[in-house]
Amino acid sequence: MLAKTRTALAAAIVAVVLLTPATAPARTIALNENARLHRISTAGGLYRFGGSATGTLPGNVTAALRFGLTSIRGSVTFYPRGGSISVRVSGSPVTLKGRMTVSGGTGKFAGARGSASWSGTLNRRTWIATVSAKGRLHY
C-alpha cells in the first residue's frame, strides 16, 4: 500500500513538472531614459510631478518627492507599454544627482529589479524638471 502511494505521488509530481509551462527567461536591458516633468501639486512638503519619458522604455511618468536641505527622496513610477516600473529615488538637491533603485513592477515588469544613476535640472520658478537616467533593469 505504501509503495503504491509513493508511486502515485511521484507520478503526480512528474506530471506537474512536465505540464507546468516554463517561465520566460529573465531579461536584462540597459536603461537610457530622459524625462520631462511638471509639478502637479504640493502638500505637506510632498511634491507631485507628472510627465513623459523617452528612451529605452518610453511612456508616462509620475513622481512623489520630498526636497530637504541635504537630500531628495521619493518614488517614481514609469508606465511603459506592457506594465509599470516602481522606483525609489534618492539624491542631492544641490547637484541634482542621485541613485534610483527599482522596487517592483506590474504586467510584464512584475518582479522587476535594477538600479540607475540620475541627474537633472529643476527650474524652481516654473517647477519643470528634466531628468536623465542610465542603468540596468532585470525583469
Q: Is the pLDDT of residue 22 over 50?
A: no
CA 70 to chain centre: 24
Distance CA 69, CA 92 (A): 9
What's the CATH number where 120 sits? 2.40.480.10
pTM: 0.80
Q: Which domain holds residue 61?
A: 26-138
Number of domains in the chain: 1
Q: Does 17 fall in a domain?
A: no
Q: Does 21 fall in a domain?
A: no
Q: Are 58 and 32 a contacting pair, CB within 8 Å?
A: no
Distance CA 29, CA 48 (A): 28
Residue 109 corresponds to which amino acid?
A: F
pLDDT tens, residue by residue, 73-93: 999 999 999 999 999 999 999
Please give the average per-residue pLDDT across 113-138, as a whole number.
Answer: 96
Q: Would you call 43 exposed, middle or buried from its count of C-beta atoms within 10 A (0-12, 13-18, 19+)?
A: exposed
Q: Does 80 fall in a domain?
A: yes
What pLDDT, on a 0 to 100 scale, did the predictor assign at position 26? 85
Please give the average per-residue pLDDT across 53-76, as a whole number.
Answer: 97
